[in-house]
Amino acid sequence: MAEKRLKFARQRKSRGFTQESFAHALGVDRSTVQRWERGDGEPQPFQRPKIANLLGIAPGELNSLLFADDPQPEDASRWLGVGLPTHEDELEALELARRVQASDVGNETLGRLEQVFDELATAYPATPPQELLERVRKHTGYVSNLLGVRKTLEEHRRLVVIGGWFSLLGATLHIDLNQPNAATAKLRTAVSLARQAGHVEIESWCYETEAWRVLTDGDYSRALELSLMAQSFAPDGSSVAIQAAAQEGRARARLGQARETYLAIDRVQRQSAALGMNHRPEHHYQYDPAKSTAYTATTLAWLGDVAAEGYAREVIARLAPGADISKWPRRVASANIDLALTLVAHGRLDEACDAAQKAILSGRVVPSNHWRALEVVTAVELRKIPEASDLREAFEGMKGLPPLKK
């Protein structure tokens, strides 16, 4: 036992608690307290205030009795909207560039806004959604202000397109944060701007994004309808065409349409192979062919196909452990959930719990994906195995973290 956990045990005893009575006071099993004192885990965030109270110490002192290592990654607070940075310097630079142009907008300002959007879309996979949303809001507001100044017709159209992209990305982030009203408003704005500019790609992405939103709400028929609509607007062979086909496959899997699901998976794999690797694979709106493996894992897991295990393990092996996890933290977490769902469906419950724990404790399961983790937790609980209580504890701990800033 580590020295700090000895201190934890001494403090418990000094307060007159046995392991059993301490566990009873907290509403957990004695084995849970034993694990804490062995150094095999830590209390969840929602449990810590009560533990500190029982031990007669301030909440801040509890860390001195526990390991320094936290199940959540060191930067987990960034994913919870804590300590968000400001980006006023970016806007000041944009304004200065605009003022030195002959027109009230100018090519340099538009070019920089397009560049900023690409930077934000590229940061999407590895940046906490609330943190990224703050920057998207600022630049969306800046674009809105520019729409009211003097400019040429071509500059106006280009600015409308930029506004459409920023609104679309903002909607996506609101979905991640489980803020449906804000997401819907941003999507409507993005569709309106796309139609004004005659930009079918943005409009296609709007339908694809809404398909994902309603799928997470359990409206699988509507998700299928929207994914087909997105494909009908999407340019042939484009990133959005492939992504919309992937959403179609996932919706059909949830509807139990096995034959059509496999056809959609095949179409995604063929189209993504033909697309080739782009120079910015992390860009959310430039399809990364490697993403098809992750989507296949999810789709097959939802269909109950044992082949999902191989795809999920391929994603995990390729991205973690290793440097790439910093680029794709959410993709690794999703792959672990897919793996867990497949394993539990085929009776490999211990392995399923381990995979689900890795996903939940990674700190990378955004609020809109909590339901996916809950599917695994519920499935394990129905089988009444001892590990189920620990998995439920981890899940409730994830839900009990401080709410994301809206």
Average pLDDT value for residue range 376-385: 88
Lowest-pLDDT range of 53-67, 159-173, 232-246, 259-273: 53-67
List of domains in the chain: 3-64 (1.10.260.40), 307-406 (no CATH)
Is the pLDDT at 70 greater than 60? The verdict is no
Is residue 177 within 8 Å of 406, Cβ to Cβ?
A: yes
Q: According to the model, what pLDDT value does residue 100 have?
A: 57
Average pLDDT value for residue range 194-221: 95
For 295-335, write each residue's pLDDT tens digit: 999 999 999 899 999 988 988 887 765 544 445 678 888 88
On average, the pLDDT of the chain sits at 84
Question: How would you class 222 by CB atoms within 10 Å of its CB: exposed for 0-12, middle for 13-18, buried for 19 or more?
Answer: middle
Q: How confident is the model at residue 367 (pLDDT cuts 50, 70, 90)?
A: confident
Is the pLDDT at 404 greater than 70? The verdict is no
The b-or-e profile of 239-263 (16+ CB within 10 A means b, else e) is bbbbbbbbbbbbbbbbeebeebbbe
Q: How many helices (H) and strands (E) does the chain have?
A: 19, 0
Is residue 391 within 8 Å of 380, Cβ to Cβ?
A: yes
The b-or-e profile of 13-28 (16+ CB within 10 A means b, else e) is eeeebebeebbeebeb
Q: How confident is the model at residue 405 (pLDDT cuts 50, 70, 90)?
A: very low
- Could you give the CA distance from residue 23 to residue 35 in angstroms, rounded to a whole number? 11
Is the pLDDT at 277 greater than 90? The verdict is no
Q: How far is CA 64 from CA 26, 60, 72, 276, 305, in A?
A: 20, 8, 17, 51, 46
Q: What proportion of the chain, given as a percentage, has pLDDT over 90?
A: 39
Question: How would you class 193 by CB atoms within 10 Å of its CB: exposed for 0-12, middle for 13-18, buried for 19 or more?
Answer: buried
Q: According to the model, what pLDDT value does residue 166 have?
A: 98
Average pLDDT value for residue range 242-258: 96
Task: Identify which of 272, 201, 267, 203 has the alpha carbon closest to the alpha carbon of residue 235.
Answer: 201
Is the pLDDT at 286 greater than 60? The verdict is yes
For 130-166, write each residue's pLDDT tens digit: 999 999 999 999 999 999 888 888 999 999 999 999 9
Q: How confident is the model at residue 16 (pLDDT cuts 50, 70, 90)?
A: confident
Q: According to the model, what pLDDT value does residue 37 have?
A: 84
What's the start-to-end Cα distance of the chain, in Å? 42
